[in-house]
Structure 1
């Protein structure tokens, strides 16, 4: 059941990534609040999606990250917190190092970091490109 949910999360993430190239941001200025809002929505979608991937794999016995040393218990709530934290630190390229990816989690983190780097460049490029073709 958890793996089916993982497939759904992966499909939503891929759909969100492909929307970078298909959604047209309507803006009256080069950088508008609409463009910023779209970027924030993409970041939140990616952050939550990758956090769910980390959590589902961790719950099913695949060690994808080292839990925070501050986690007093190993319940699902602290696991969700660590998953969201790891996803946010990876996507935003902060990477404090207290929760680190291991095993296959490294490859997931690489993909997430790549998406985190590409998203702002794509939105700025699309905004400028759309502005020049008016």
Structure 2
């Protein structure tokens, strides 16, 4: 069971990295508007992928018995569907804001939450850079 969870965690991490690289590699088509619906859709999909990847990461740790989040003063979860709901909520709030404090990371979960929050702050910058700054080569 642990090797299956480890494999899922590795796949989630690879999915996150590939999504971010896909956003950074995409360049608008020259001669067209810098920002397009396609680019916004790509950004939205990258956000969803990163949120779900980190959710899988948190869930994997919880299922391995490593507590990474708590709700109030108690362990988050109860039933598996409630745990999944709490983890997806926590992942989205960590990614998109600074959090509300109703569900908090503990132990190793704090490090994972810091990395996720950094992704949440860097993705808009990557979007702006890939949308508006085009590298032009000067003929020599």
What TM-score results when the alignment is normalised by the length of structure 2? 0.84
Query: What 5-or-longer segments of structure 1 have no aligned partner?
Result: none
Verify: 1:8 aligned to 2:11, yes or no.
yes
Q: How many positions carry a matched residue from both structures?
A: 133
Distance 1:52 1:93, change over 3 A: same
Distance 1:122 1:107, change over 3 A: same
**CA RMSD of superposed structures (Å):** 2.4
* Structure 2 Cα separation of the partners of residues 25 and 10 of structure 1: 27
Q: Which of 13, 21, 34 pairs up with 1:18?
A: 21
Deviates more, 1:17-26 or 1:103-112: 17-26
What is the DSSP-based 3-state SS (H/G/I as helix, E as strand, rest coil) of the residue aligned with 1:97?
A: coil
Per the TM alignment, residue 35 of structure 1 is displaced from its structure 2 partner at its CA by: 1.7
Query: What 5-or-longer segments of structure 2 have no aligned partner?
Result: none
* Structure 2 Cα separation of the partners of residues 10 and 72 of structure 1: 23
Q: Which has the larger radius of gyration?
A: 2
Aligned to 1:76: 80
* Structure 1 Cα separation of the partners of residues 88 and 78 of structure 2: 15
